[in-house]
Amino acid sequence: MRHIMSPLDFSVEELDQMMDLAVDIEKHPDKYAHACDGKKIATLFYEPSTRTRLSFETAMLNLGGSVIGFASADSSSASKGESVADTIRVISCFADICAMRHPKEGAPLVASQVSSIPVINAGDGGHQHPTQTLTDLLTIRSLKGRLSNLTIGLCGDLKFGRTVHSLISALVRYTGMKFILISPEELKVPSYIREDVLKANHVQYEEVIRLEDALPKLDILYMTRVQRERFFNEEDYVRMKDFYILDKAKMELARPDMFVLHPLPRVNEISVEVDTDPRAAYFRQVQYGVYIRMALILTLLEVKVC
Ligand code: NCD
């Protein structure tokens, strides 16, 4: 039985196969409409979510399965003091697979160690968010036609943004990737990403503060919001929150074939006037998220569709 805690739990070849499966699902949804008949996914969300939880639920419903779960810690027995380990033992009796989001780094890993069903990390604190990364990889591959020789700009809260940490870890395994890390000094990537992921893999990267300096060089711009819930105080958040605002004028500095991605939710960092630019791909990205989660569920449940 396999779990997914980080995108590195799957080899590049396995991820390619999963993306191929997602593309087939997009083309032939009817073929998969009963692939998970009688199966259940439990979505255990101890932290707020719109996209990720509903995307998992949509994915399972599209496969003919059904859904149980909770959308906040307050409405679960966590509020009575139940441990994650006990909760997952119980959920293992009800469901065939589960997706867990938790504010504490490592909580889904603890769950996976005692679980008798596959556990999907749907975001653990500021650490990892592997299924957003699978979504991002599929989006980049679909839009650019490749996952190699690309210059990727990541902009915003690179310190607390778990989507950024997972995405960099996954992308360094492909050839010819260059990164431009765009953030204020206080929100730079954690040192383990710089040392153990970028430097250790001899990946070309630069760290800059001004978005305008990076924009003309990019194939992909990955915008992120400032992660308010992970700040120690509100004043720091208020000072940082509008540091970057991508607007029409800045988009003029970018290449005509650059694409803008964002894991969403967007706050102020992308002006709504950018939404109609054909290079704005963040809502298409959400749709890819459903196909890749369908492919992931099939893979973890070892369901083959001929
Ligand atoms: C992201 C997350 O939860 O880390 N959202 C998502 O799952 N699409 C990004 C964010 O909350 O900023």
Q: Which of 51, 194, 266, 284 is catalytic?
A: 51
- Ligand 1 pocket test: which of 52, 223, 230, 288 has the largest number of ligand atoms within 8 Å of its C-beta? 52
Q: Active-site residue 39, yes or no?
A: no
Sign of CA dihedral 276, 167, 192, 119: positive
Q: Active-site residue 102, yes or no?
A: no
Q: Which of 129, 162, 241, 293 is catalytic?
A: 129
The rounded distance, in Å, linking the Cα atoms of 73 and 133 is 24
What is the structure's pLDDT at 26?
98
Bridge partners of residue 259, in order along the sequence: 220
What is the structure's pLDDT at 232?
82
The rounded distance, in Å, linking the Cα atoms of 50 and 57 is 11
This prediction has a pTM of: 0.97
What is the structure's pLDDT at 3?
98
Kindly state the average pLDDT of the residues 86-107: 97
CB of 262 within 6 A of ligand 1: the answer is: no
264 pLDDT higher than 90:
yes
- 67 SS3 class: strand
CB of 42 within 6 A of ligand 1: the answer is: no
Amino acid in the structure at residue 244: Y
Q: Active-site residue 51, yes or no?
A: yes
Q: What percent of the chain has pLDDT over 90?
A: 95
51 CA from centroid of ligand 1 (Å): 8
The number of the ligand 1 atom at minimal distance from the alpha carbon of 52 is 7
CB of 51 within 6 A of ligand 1: the answer is: yes
Give Cα separations from 229 to 66, 77, 161, 261, 305 (angstroms). Answer: 31, 22, 11, 22, 41
Kindly state the average pLDDT of the residues 232-239: 91
14 pLDDT higher than 90:
yes
CB of 162 within 6 A of ligand 1: the answer is: yes
306 pLDDT higher than 90:
no
The number of the ligand 1 atom at minimal distance from the alpha carbon of 157 is 12
Q: Active-site residue 101, yes or no?
A: yes
pLDDT averaged over every residue in the chain = 97
96 CA from centroid of ligand 1 (Å): 25
Q: Whose Cα sits closest to atom 8 in ligand 1?
A: 263
The rounded distance, in Å, linking the Cα atoms of 52 and 70 is 13
248 pLDDT higher than 90:
yes
CB of 52 within 6 A of ligand 1: the answer is: yes
What is the structure's pLDDT at 32?
98
What is the structure's pLDDT at 77?
86
What is the structure's pLDDT at 79?
84
Q: Work out the number of other CB atoms within 10 angstroms of the CB of residue 44.
A: 28
Kindly state the average pLDDT of the residues 263-277: 97
- Ligand 1 pocket test: which of 129, 224, 237, 283 has the largest number of ligand atoms within 8 Å of its C-beta? 129
Q: Which of 3, 43, 52, 87 is catalytic?
A: 52
Give burial (CB, 10 Å; 0-12/13-18/19+) of 268. middle
Lowest mean pLDDT among 50-59, 95-104, 183-192, 233-242: 233-242
76 pLDDT higher than 90:
no
CB of 135 within 6 A of ligand 1: the answer is: no
Q: Work out the number of other CB atoms within 10 angstroms of the CB of residue 41.
A: 27
CB of 53 within 6 A of ligand 1: the answer is: no
At 119, the pLDDT band (50, 70, 90 cuts) reads very high
Residue linked to tokens 């979510």: 49
Query: For 154-179, how does the pLDDT look when each residue is reduced to its tens digit (9 = 90+)?
Result: 999 999 999 999 999 999 999 999 99
